Amino acid sequence: MIQLKFRDDIYLAITGIIVTLAAYFALFIAPAEVTMGELVRIFYFHLPPAIICYLALLVSVATGLIFIRTKDFKYDALSESGALLGLVYGLITLISGAIWANATWGVYWNWDPRETTTLILWFAYLGYFLLRMSIENPERRASSAAVFNILAFMTVPLSYVSFILWPSLHPRLGDDGGGLGLTGTMVQALVMNIIGGVFVFGYVLKKTYDLRIKRDEYNSKLMEEM
Amino acid sequence: MPIQVFQVLGLYLVTTMVYIGWVVKSNRDLDRKINDR
């Protein structure tokens, strides 16, 4: 019987090639944009972490819901791992967005709807971890976190549609009112960077999940010995 | 090329690599601890 085994080295080599090619494409092949000039290249490294943040939180809330139904702690571990990665990539998105804002608007932070709702999202998931830390009983912790996750996840669509709901300076794709007009090579650079980012996300999600499972295993061994 | 492009690229790459380094090392340390018991 053929057994499929996750090979870190092969996966990382493929990921490294994609990420390097994507960065090279974004820096040297894609042309400058009409209104933003060379600064548009920030976009290729700002949008992928934002997408990964949303994706990680989607994984987190979906597996949290599965935990509520099944009470299988593996889903709680996956949910927590997704939320942690959502926090990490959310922070990259917030800081890279602030750098871009300063370069284009002359100020790091101006409470733009997209900035503000993404910050709310980040604090909502920080609250998720504070909640987890405050409950000792594993089953109660996992169930409460899964319910809180549903509420916290509402900030994701809010952040996504914020610039439609309120007046915003945040550029949007395909916008004819002063947004980003990306042409063929630019779209290719963006897609390559998104694919590279998703490959990295797959790896870090698996490793974070493995770590969580091993921690549980180690803690239960300690408890047995006591 | 504006410096901000490299700031954002650096932030993205360094944070990701530091995270990967941390998670891989923590996995390895826990493997060792579990095997020692």
What are A85-115's pLDDT values in tens digits? Answer: 999 999 999 999 999 999 988 999 999 999 9
C-alpha to C-alpha distance for A97 and A85, rounded to whole angstroms: 18
Lowest mean pLDDT of A137-141, A162-166, B6-10, name the range: A162-166
Contact, A197 vs A51, CB < 8 A? yes
For residues A149 and A185, the model is more confident at A149
**% of chain A with per-residue pLDDT over 70:** 93
Q: Chain B: residue nearest A217 by CA?
A: B34
Q: How is residue A53 written in tokens?
A: 């943040």
Q: Over chain A, what is the mean pLDDT? A: 91
C-alpha to C-alpha distance for A148 and A151, rounded to whole angstroms: 5
C-alpha to C-alpha distance for A109 and A168, rounded to whole angstroms: 13
Distance from CA of B18 to the nearest CA of A (A): 11
Which residues in chain A are contacts of B37 at CB distance < 8 A? 218, 221, 225
Probe site for chain B from A11, A24, A36, A41 (most B CB atoms < 10 A):
A41
Which has the closest alpha carbon to A54: A84, A86, A80?
A86
- Res. A1 pLDDT band, cuts 50 70 90: very low
How high is the ipTM of this complex?
A: 0.94
3-state class of A119 per DSSP?
helix
What is the model's pTM? 0.91
In the prediction, which pLDDT does A3 show?
Answer: 53
In the prediction, which pLDDT does A177 show?
Answer: 47
- Res. A4 pLDDT band, cuts 50 70 90: low
Which has the closest alpha carbon to A85: A64, A116, A60?
A60
Compute the average pLDDT of residues A201-226.
91
- Res. A8 pLDDT band, cuts 50 70 90: confident
Give the model confidence (pLDDT) of A33-44 as tens digits.
878 888 999 999
Compute the average pLDDT of residues A15-26.
95
**Is B4–A88 a contact, with Cβ atoms under 8 angstroms apart?**
no
